[in-house]
Structure 1
Amino acid sequence: MSGRTREPACPERTCIGCRERAAKQHLLRVVAVGGACVLDLRGTLPGRGAYVHPGTVCLDLAVRRRAFSRAFRGQEALDIADLRRYAEQSTP
């Protein structure tokens, strides 16, 4: 044995706003449902998900870069009002 200890594997995802990799538990999963971006806090909603840091900076970057439409494969004009409200509340 080499004597090195390994940290337990932790799933990582990429934030669609800042493009930084982070642990899945530190990001919010967003799913497109009926033309709107819906937060999937439990991670159980069906469909393609996108991950973003829980703050307005990464959300604004994702909107500016049109990352949501790209992540959801071409769905245009997604409503992010609920997502923005959640991000503003979670930002100190």
Structure 2
Amino acid sequence: MIQRETPAPDNRHRRTEGPVRTCIGCRKRELAVDLLRVVAVSNGNGEWAVTVDPAGNLPRRGAWLHPDDRCLQAAIRRRAFTRALRVTGSPDPTAVVEYLSSAPAHEGQVAKNMSTP
């Protein structure tokens, strides 16, 4: 049996710091820690609302979004929440809009992996 030497895979462009997700607004790939996770929650009458999941532990399918108003507006314009979250109708993104409008208050805070020594 002849063994051939296979070239090593080119890993220059691959990040190994954690999971990579795609922003539903701009469609760019980023590390999950740099993106905001959103999920759809039911209002009980067949309507859906999109809410922010900063801890990353809410049930249901999640979507990822840059914490930037341009990406949010692009996601709304493209109706990306409906497709990414796999819900029927047009979910209400008001909670995400309010969260991003108060984002300067959240800057500098680490939401994940905070532990006391």
Q: Does 1:47 align with 2:60?
A: yes
Alignment of 1:48-67 (within 5 A): 48-67=61-80
Instruction: Tell whether the 8 Å contact from 1:55 to 1:88 is kept in structure 2 after alignment.
Output: no
Give the TM-score of the pair, scaled to structure 2.
0.68
Q: Which runs of 5+ in 1 are unaligned?
A: 1-6
Larger Cα-atom Rg: 2
Q: Does 1:17 align with 2:22?
A: no
Alpha-carbon distance in 1 for matches of 2:64, 2:55: 13
Cα displacement string for residues 12-38 of structure 1 (whole angstroms, at most 9, x for unaligned residues): 100000000001001010000011001
CA-CA distance at 1:47 after TM superposition:
0.6
Give the TM-score of the pair, scaled to structure 1.
0.85
Instruction: Tell whether the 8 Å contact from 1:31 to 1:47 is kept in structure 2 after alignment.
Output: yes
Alignment of 1:1-92 (within 5 A): 8-34=16-42, 35-90=48-103
Give the root-mean-square deviation of aligned CA atoms: 1.7
Which protein, 1 or 2, shows the higher relative CO under an 8 Å CA cutoff with sep ≥ 6? Answer: 1
Q: Which runs of 5+ in 2 are unaligned?
A: 1-14, 43-47, 108-117
Q: What letter corresponds to residue 66 of structure 2 in structure 1?
A: H
